[in-house]
Amino acid sequence: MKKIVGVLLAAVGAVALGGIALHRHEPINALWIVTAAVCVYALGYRFYAAWVAARVLAVDPSRATPAERHDNGRDFVPTHRWIAFGHHFAAIAGPGPLVGPTLAAQFGYLPGTLWILVGAVLGGCVQDMTILLLSTRRDGRSLGQMARDELGPFGGFAALIGTLLIMILLIAVLGLVVVNAMKHSPWSTATVFATVPVAMLVGVHLRQLRPGRILEASALGVALVLLAVLAGGWVDTHPLLRGLFDWSSLPLAGFVIGYGWIAAILPVWLLLAPRDYLSTFLKLGTVALLAVAIVLLHPQIRMPALTAFVDGHGPLFGGKIFPFVFITIACGAVSGFHALVASGTTPKLIASEADVRLIGYGSMMLESFVAIMAMIAATLLDPGVFFAINSGAGVVGSAPAAAVHTISSWGFHVTVQQMQALAHEMGESTLFARTGGAPSLAVGMASIFGNTFGRGLLSLWYHFAIMFEAVFILSTLDAGTRVGRFMLQDLLGHVYAPLGRTSWYPSVIFSSTLIVAGWGYFLYVGVIDPNGGVNILWPLFGIANQMLAAIALSVATGILVKSGRARHAWVTLGPLAWLAIVTTVAAWQKIASPDPRIGLFAAARALAAHLAAGSLPAQAAAAAPQLIFNQRLDAWLTALFTAILWLVILDMARVCMRKLRGMPVPASSETPYQTARLRPFAVPAQLPQEGGT
């Protein structure tokens, strides 16, 4: 029976993929992509994941998990697998899979879609599941600790530094996305500002008024932020208030930086925790709604399968399809960051090792599907409109007429009237050069929702989408700053012990300030960059994220070889080799390419030459020295990431060689086997038991 289902899935998947291939030169329906994706996931989950879990990882349901052994009713709690799946998915899903595919859509819909599917099924899902099982077998130890225990102190240190740097870059680029979405948009700005007091209200409710009534407080909060979207529309029509919320990008960056700093030093219950409840509800709700709407509406994809920009001259970011499509789509295919979550809270919830496939592999499949939906939302737009929204003024010109001229000359027809009508429909004053991916995703989502559930509400849907993205970007920003602060305090504690105390207020303020200054700097430079900044920061973040994935896969490969499973180590070694190649080639091009659109040093040299020749307008000339410094700094950071990547790989190779030659290696840190007992209380009384419906 299972075989018949498998064969049927393979057949439907093949037909859908064939459909995509045959429709290369005409518009294709999004339903083909959705069908192909679902079949690829089903096959991957049913066959590859099952094989990896059983044969390579040797998942053993008879072995007691840390949740069972250390059950304390608080952090170690055996949890129903679907509940743990929900928690894990909510933890890994962030704005990454929304932004990456939007940017990669400049190559056409095909390359990004294929990498999202293949990368997830063979790479990202395997990484998440493997790290989740390895951590579950080690009492829920973190990736850094596992690297230290299994490979040696260098691996652990590399993981720590890598995580800290990636956190800073991630927050900066996400901050930039929010700033670009709110820039000169009173409606968006008023709505996003309003979410701050709403979150605080929810926080007070949960802490003081009715402790722990999470559902009730979240429902209240979600209702209030939806109201804030409506109220934003009213602000937008009010002559006085409109001016009050019409901010340019520099003060908005100041707001985001100030907000991040305050959120990091306030107690978590007041802002961070309640905001996260709101964003989790909105995230799960919107993802579900988007999936339903895409199936109901099944829109036509208007972007070609491949565009001319595969040659490296794309307006969103410079660089050829190889390696940059693999760098840009970070989170939807493989995300090193997930390894940190999979070795953090989730292993402490796993009731049985048998659940690892659903929770680790399955959650990443869903994340990948979110990326597919973002790709659909980006590519159903008229390509001309897509490029007009996403191309920085520095690339296509700041005047609308110049921008449409440039974009039309690429073969993507668009007019100023068309853009004005669209902006008017979305309740915005302009949609030109709204880089960062959020506005174009919001336009895509608004047209999906609007066409499915009522067209008159386009501007409401647009600002709902902006609010939705901003809310969970801001909660990533809070949470990331806080985690960065903890890591920094951990490091600083070695220098001066009191700085390591996470509750000592002077140290809290000092370390939070350092972290915020770190990402605030990159955010500031991104804002003053006439090309939008995202074109530089996002690839850098992508390289960092893939580097972290490579560290995680190195740890996994090392453990597989050490435990006598070298024969099967290709399961993690394969994705590791691919990521190492992609990341190294991308890093090499970012450092050494003579093309200023790609090479960071070349860009710095070109800008310096313009500055010296006096050919820059006054405003650009004022910003140029900072941009030149930043481009050089980014190049050195890229070199640092690549160095860390290869040192970890060599360290892993050293340990593996020693093992294969029969020399001593660090002992396995796996906790000894203990037989699992049946724990019926693990499932709340209201929930169906395992295997039921």
CA distance 89 to 291: 16
Query: Rounded to the nearest whole angstrom, what is the least distance from the CB of residue 468 to another protein in the complex?
Result: 16
| Six token digits for residue 345 | 């809270």
Q: Classify residue 45 by its DSSP letter.
A: I
Burial of 125 (0-12, 13-18, 19+ CB in 10 A): buried
Query: Rounded to the nearest whole angstrom, what is the least distance from the CB of residue 627 to another protein in the complex?
Result: 25
Query: Rounded to the nearest whole angstrom, what is the least distance from the CB of residue 91 to another protein in the complex?
Result: 6
28 forms beta bridges with 301
Could you tell me if residue 564 is left (phi over 0), alpha (psi between -120 and 50 degrees) or otherwise beta? Answer: left
Nearer to another protein, 473 or 586 (CB): 473
Nearer to another protein, 100 or 108 (CB): 100
Nearer to another protein, 504 or 646 (CB): 504
Contact 302, 383 (CB under 8 A): yes
Nearer to another protein, 156 or 299 (CB): 156
Nearer to another protein, 350 or 407 (CB): 350
Q: Classify residue 670 by its DSSP letter.
A: P
**Residue 37 neighbours by CB under 8 Å, 6+ apart:** 113, 116, 117, 368, 369, 372
Nearest one of 577, 576, 585 to 543, comparing CA atoms: 585
Amino acid, single-letter form, for residue 388:
A
Query: Rounded to the nearest whole angstrom, what is the least distance from the CB of residue 258 to another protein in the complex?
Result: 20
Query: Rounded to the nearest whole angstrom, what is the least distance from the CB of residue 169 to another protein in the complex?
Result: 10
Query: Rounded to the nearest whole angstrom, what is the least distance from the CB of residue 297 to another protein in the complex?
Result: 27
Query: Rounded to the nearest whole angstrom, what is the least distance from the CB of residue 340 to another protein in the complex?
Result: 5
Query: Rounded to the nearest whole angstrom, what is the least distance from the CB of residue 277 to another protein in the complex?
Result: 7
Query: Rounded to the nearest whole angstrom, what is the least distance from the CB of residue 483 to another protein in the complex?
Result: 5
Nearer to another protein, 288 or 421 (CB): 288
Query: Rounded to the nearest whole angstrom, what is the least distance from the CB of residue 82 to another protein in the complex?
Result: 8
CA distance 625 to 616: 12
Nearer to another protein, 546 or 631 (CB): 546
CA distance 350 to 60: 13
Secondary structure of residue 48 in the 3-state scheme: helix
Nearer to another protein, 650 or 687 (CB): 687
| Six token digits for residue 391 | 């191309």
CA-to-CA separations, 479 to 126, 263, 370, 506, 523, in angstroms, rounded: 26, 9, 21, 20, 17
Secondary structure of residue 586 in the 3-state scheme: helix
Query: Rounded to the nearest whole angstrom, what is the least distance from the CB of residue 73 to another protein in the complex?
Result: 3
Rg of the chain on CA atoms, in Å: 25
Burial of 322 (0-12, 13-18, 19+ CB in 10 A): middle
CA distance 677 to 171: 43
**Residue 150 neighbours by CB under 8 Å, 6+ apart:** 555, 558, 559, 562, 655, 666, 668, 669
Nearer to another protein, 467 or 479 (CB): 479
Nearer to another protein, 126 or 388 (CB): 126
Query: Rounded to the nearest whole angstrom, what is the least distance from the CB of residue 211 to another protein in the complex?
Result: 4
**Residue 639 neighbours by CB under 8 Å, 6+ apart:** 587, 591
Query: Rounded to the nearest whole angstrom, what is the least distance from the CB of residue 331 to another protein in the complex?
Result: 5
Contacting residues toward another protein, per CB under 8 A: 71-75, 77, 79-80, 82-83, 86-87, 91-96, 142, 163, 170, 174, 206-207, 211-215, 218, 268-269, 272-273, 276-277, 280-281, 330-331, 335, 337-338, 340-341, 344-345, 475-476, 479-480, 482-483, 486, 502, 545, 681, 684-688
Query: Rounded to the nearest whole angstrom, what is the least distance from the CB of residue 72 to another protein in the complex?
Result: 8
Nearer to another protein, 260 or 427 (CB): 260
Q: Classify residue 28 by its DSSP letter.
A: E
Nearer to another protein, 9 or 278 (CB): 278
**Residue 230 neighbours by CB under 8 Å, 6+ apart:** 460
Nearer to another protein, 126 or 341 (CB): 341
Burial of 577 (0-12, 13-18, 19+ CB in 10 A): middle
Nearer to another protein, 9 or 202 (CB): 202
Determine the length of the chain.
693
Contact 223, 230 (CB under 8 A): no
CA-to-CA separations, 231 to 189, 235, 238, 611, in angstroms, rounded: 11, 6, 11, 46
Nearer to another protein, 31 or 516 (CB): 516
| Six token digits for residue 50 | 């099952």
Query: Rounded to the nearest whole angstrom, what is the least distance from the CB of residue 267 to another protein in the complex?
Result: 9
Name residue, tokens 């390591």.
Answer: 500
Residue 341 phi, psi (nearest 5):
-75, -40
CA distance 685 to 320: 55
Nearer to another protein, 30 or 551 (CB): 551
CA distance 386 to 395: 14
Query: Rounded to the nearest whole angstrom, what is the least distance from the CB of residue 143 to another protein in the complex?
Result: 9
Burial of 15 (0-12, 13-18, 19+ CB in 10 A): middle
